[in-house]
A and B are shown apart, each in its own frame.
Chain A
Amino acid sequence: MTPMTVLAAEGGHPLIPAAYDIVWSAVCFALIFLVFWKVLLPKFRVVLDERSSAIQGGIEKAEKVQAEADAALAEYQKQLADGRAEAARLRAEAQEEGAQIIASMKQQATEESERIITQAKAQIEAERQSAMVSLRSEVGGLATDLASRIVGESLDDDTRSANVVDRFIADLEAQTPVAAASTAKEF
């Protein structure tokens, strides 16, 4: 006794479909296929398309915003770099200018001081010359003056003539002690 023979006798064989089995299979699958084809999948596609376009739009928008932000950042950084370079340039210029100013000031000061020194030396020389000239003439005059005074006074009075000489010397010293000193040195 095999199960198959028993079953075949009972009204079915697992490999041989009954007519109603085929009929109901066809009906069920036809129904499934039609509903999928005409109802379910179109709905699915519509939603999917809408979603993908929404996502696509969102992505594009995000990309656009990102690009704008990148551009703005680049612009800002460029401006910042430009500003820094400008500041550095100005600083360098200012330093150079300052150095130049200092150098020219020093130069001017040196020249000025040399000029003053030279002028002072020339003036001193001139004064010395004039002093010598006036001293020479004065000494001559003084000598003449002294001689005339001595002569004008009584030459026989020894005491008086000695007094005149003393007074003259004292006057002379009181008038120009320096000139007298330098004159004394030179003569």
Chain B
Amino acid sequence: MSLLAAEGGGGFTAPGLEEFFPAVFLFEGTGFDVNRIILVRIIATLALLLLLWLALRKATVVPGRVQSVVELAFDFVRKDIAYGMLGRKDGDRFFPLIAAIFFGVFALNITGIVPFLNMSSNALIGMPLVLSLVVYVVMIAAGIQAKGGFRYLKDELFPAGVPKPMYILVTPIEIVSTFIARPVSLTLRLTFNMLVGHLLLVLCFAATQFFFFEAGGAVAGFGALTLVGGFAFTLFEILVAVLQAYVFALLTAAYIQLSVAQDH
């Protein structure tokens, strides 16, 4: 960033993390403060629910075009993620959570490339953190429900088939990997994918703006490059938005599966 700033001859200021903390303009200090990103988050939530409700409101046995697409997506989550990981019975039990996570994460991600919104509210750590905590609680609750608290902890911390003395080494690793690394990695993976994606886009388009309108002359040619780069990253961000939603939902299913699995 400092390099680019230097190239810009001092006139260009690279966007930084202040991007993610815009001014609060509503309910300041109440705990329900709304800034631009929170507004984007609320809009994305309502838009997702409204669109899906409209698509399924008059759902018929022979589906229309929109209904087909929505059903295809629901079916993908149900068959490939829920059933694939958990089997039919548990897959049906946890399908609402997994579907809410998949579509919620996708909706909140995709605002990053929607014109005028231009920000994924998952770049704020709050949303990924809340989702991870939900998954964390459900994962542990599902394990305890399936086998009882003692048996669950024993299965998780003292995996079968390991020689007893090895537990001195294995158990701390299991504690960290199961009860700490899982929620932390879920949170950070999503947060930083969105955060970095946004920074890349802003950087590309801010540089384009700078090269075209402020630097002028021969360097204006660089603007074309950064514009193309920005376009390419926009497409890439669409992929990332889908992929991260898929990964989050898949890991949710996988963690629940590891908790409820009887022989492990």
Contacts and interface: CB of A to CB of B under 8 A. Distances in A.
A and B held together in a complex: yes
Contacts of A14: 17, 20, 125, 191, 195
A123 B157 CA distance: 134
A33 B97 contact: yes
A9 B32 CA distance: 21
A30 to B, nearest CB: 9
Given A12-B21, A17-B126, A36-B100, A25 B41 contact: yes
A164 interface: no
A7 B17 contact: yes
Interface string A1-34: 0011011001110111111111111101101110
Scoring B24, B45, B63, B134 by chain A CB atoms within 10 A of each residue's CB, the highest score goes to B45
A155 interface: no
Interface of A: 3-4, 6-7, 10-12, 14-26, 28-29, 31-33, 35-37, 39-41, 43-44, 46-48, 50-51, 54
Given A20-B34, A32-B104, A43-B57, 6 more contacts: A7-B17, A7-B21, A14-B17, A31-B45, A40-B49, A44-B56
23 contacts: A3-B16, A6-B18, A7-B16, A7-B17, A12-B21, A16-B125, A17-B124, A17-B126, A21-B127, A22-B129, A24-B42, A25-B130, A28-B41, A28-B127, A29-B134, A31-B49, A32-B45, A32-B49, A33-B104, A41-B95, A44-B56, A44-B71, A47-B60
